[in-house]
Amino acid sequence: MEAWLALEDGTVYEGESFGATGEKTGEVVFNTSMIGYQEILTDPSYKGQIVTMTYPLIGNYGVNPEDMESICSHVEGFVVREYQPRPNNWRSTDTLNNFLAEHDVIGISGIDTRALTRRLRVDGVMRGIITTENLDHARVSAKAKTVSGMVGVDLVREVSTKQPYKWEQGHRVSITLSNTAPDQVWQTFDKACQYRVVVMDYGAKHNILRSLAHRGCRVLVLPGDTSAELVLRLNPDGIMLSNGPGDPGAVDYAIEELKILIGQKPIFGICIGHQFLGLALGGESFKLKFGHRGANQPVQQIESGKVEITSQNHGFAIDADSLDTSIVELTHINLNDRTLEGLAHRTLPVFSVQYHPEASPGPHDADYLFDKFIDSMKSI
């Protein structure tokens, strides 16, 4: 079946469909990762986006239940140069085609993804439409121009959990907090785990939860709009601010509650959690031209000069010049475009990074940041 991808500038790419059929709209972006397409598809940070893979062959190792980063796929569409319908891998349990169809994601293959990526790099990410229906150039071009952008849109509410849950033995377990004493909440966890960590779910990846549990944490995941009052009543040892999609400036409720939490408990922020922390500390955010999406982004530790190769997925950043450096230390910088990649409070156990130290998929250069978070809880 034929499928088309149209951009807001009037460009239309014609290809073959796989996965679901129908029509979806979103912001068209590109990811430079060579592997990890299933993790990308199930990363809530991609909500509202049509993702283009720059690596030309996708689907060759299939999909499997263990590589899910959330309970479903979140992308609006998936664009590849060549789709491989016959995967060959010992871990594979199904094809990418069936996975996309199950999760209502439209895939398109057979287009020039190098030309598309170049267009997005030169002109910036664009609004677009991916469709298998009513294939008419005038119609799809006109509709692409009407697609909503990311600026000012709160996508966190669309991906955050609606109910609290604990992460235990690699699974979500629902939990009730109302009329429950804080100590009783934590007693339901594995007694061998030492540290009590609340994860503010702005679109959390499962590997963040796995990374915390692996280090002996009792992980309690709360909706992104949970009040600071409830978080503090639970008396955790530390607070994790998760990744998530969209414009951080549009999620004012999370920023206001975070202002209350700063100074109360050790805090570690990742991705949009980093952006929320920067905004709560008085900074300003801005939209990047084409964002950072891939598993090969070079980031330098400012103090030591050490370079980490990191996994990233974000379209907004914190303006380093907007932060008060007498209060906030700038800790990491992106070597491609010199944007801020990490910050820390100078006197409080509060820090964050723009990239993904849980590295799923991606390198493990930044894994030490979870150990730093554990150490900050030990010292309290």
The Cα-based distances of 13 to 10, 63, 81 in angstroms read 10, 26, 11
Amino acid sitting at position 274: H
Contact 352, 343 (CB under 8 A): yes
Closest CA to 168 of 96, 221, 243: 221
Cis, bond preceding 349 (omega within 30 deg of 0):
no
Type and span of the H or E element at 211: helix 206-214
Closest CA to 129 of 22, 242, 203, 26: 26
Would you name the residues annotated as active-site residues?
271, 356, 358
CA 84/CA 296 separation, integer angstroms: 24
Write down the H helix ranges in 67-155.
96-102, 113-123, 137-144
Tokens 């975070």 locate to: 258
Closest CA to 240 of 273, 207, 214, 216: 273
Query: Hey, which residues does 109 pair with through a beta bridge?
Result: 16
Give the dihedral sign, CA 350/342/361/111. positive
Q: Which residues does 221 contact at the CB level (< 8 Å), separation at least 6?
A: 161, 164, 165, 166, 167, 172, 198, 199, 201, 204, 209
